[in-house]
Amino acid sequence: MAKANDEGRKVVASNRKARHDYLIEDTFEAGLVLMGTEVKSLRMGRASLIDGYAAWRGDELWLEGVHIPEYVQGTWTNHTPRRRRKLLLHRAELTKIMRKSSESGHTIVPLQMYFKDGIAKVEIAVAKGKRQYDKRHALRERQDNREAQRALGAKGRPQV
């Protein structure tokens, strides 16, 4: 089920793998053009951002590969789960994203989908793919930090 953050955001889906696979350079908050059954399905806390990415179609940015399952109580008005959805951003943000994503090795990935004041939003990032050794280095660093914290103990003093 969806959880509420302290700043009034009710997180529906999170792409934790994106932070592992990519080096996040810049993040943006975008609105989504959704159908009614998609909103109802999101309110139930059902979505997956794992295979999602953003692509350019002309001068517009579209979210693709995001899975929002069909609404259980929907009828013939239901949506297709992996349809393309338009992202709503200001023109200045779009030009900034276009400039950054056109560089070699950069892509646009969704990080989180959430409701902010009752409106569905998605947090997207311009990211650069990590190499395998970068991923291993980050995992090793995180593990070392965890071991150091464990050695210090709960109070912040070294344990004997």
Question: Using 50, 70 and 90 to split pLDDT, how confident is the model at 105?
Answer: confident
In this model, does residue 2 exceed pLDDT 70? no
Taking all residues of the chain, what is their mean pLDDT, rounded to a whole number? 84
Are 79 and 142 found together in one domain?
Answer: no
Q: Print the domain residue range for 108.
A: 3-129
Domains in the chain: how many in total? 2
- The larger pLDDT score, comparing residue 116 to residue 131, is at 116
Are 137 and 84 found together in one domain?
Answer: no
Are 108 and 146 found together in one domain?
Answer: no
Are 89 and 141 found together in one domain?
Answer: no
Query: How many beta carbons lie within 10 A of that of residue 140, not counting itself?
Result: 10
The one-letter amino acid at 92: A
Q: How far does CA 120 lie from the centroid of its chain? A: 13
Mean pLDDT of 97-106: 87
Mean pLDDT of 63-75: 81
Question: Using 50, 70 and 90 to split pLDDT, how confident is the model at 109?
Answer: very high
CATH classification of the domain holding 31? 2.40.280.10
User: Which helix or strand (DSSP H or E) is residue 132 part of?
Assistant: helix 132-152
The one-letter amino acid at 63: L
Q: What is the pTM of this model?
A: 0.74
Task: Reduce the DSSP state of residue 84 to 3 states and report it.
Answer: coil
What pLDDT is recorded for position 10? 86
Dump pLDDT digits (tens) for 4-48: 555 678 889 888 888 878 888 899 999 999 888 888 888 888 888
